[in-house]
Amino acid sequence: MSDQAQPKSQDAILGGLAPPTGVVLGGLEGVKQRLASGVWNQQAAAVTQALQYGEAGLDLLLQTLKQEERITLRWAIYWNLIHQAKPALKGILSQYNPYRSFQPLFTLEERDN
């Protein structure tokens, strides 16, 4: 397992200190679990935590962005990734821009006077 996938000091659980009510995974596996949880607070935190795992974290977020149907999670991922200084991400993200799913309420037409 690479060092990027290992739990870090800022992870929820480090060194087997799991709460008595259940198991919470640290590292990238824990981020995956929180992204899939369906609980918005956990998902939002997982998006920012994924960025701490380098390319593996970016790959996880891109995969989730491609497969995710909930617009709130898509926005969170898109917003975090669009601010990364990686030119290759800009092209990939243009395919998943959440603005493309907006429907206009009305349109303006130019009139000739």
- Does pTM surpass 0.75? no
More confident call, 53 vs 5: 53
pLDDT tens digit string along 82-108? 888 787 787 788 777 766 666 778 888
**Cα–Cα dist 9/7, whole Å:** 7
Whether residue 18 has pLDDT greater than 60:
no
Query: Distance (Å, rounded) from C-alpha 60 to C-alpha 82?
Result: 15
Contact 25, 46 (CB under 8 A): no
Question: What angle in degrees, to the nearest 10, is found between the helix axes of 27-35 and 40-50?
Answer: 140
* Model confidence band, residue 25 (pLDDT cutoffs 50, 70, 90): low
**What's the angle, vertex CA 74, arms to CA 73 and CA 80, rounded to 5?**
90
The answer, yes or no, to whether residue 34 has pLDDT greater than 80, is yes
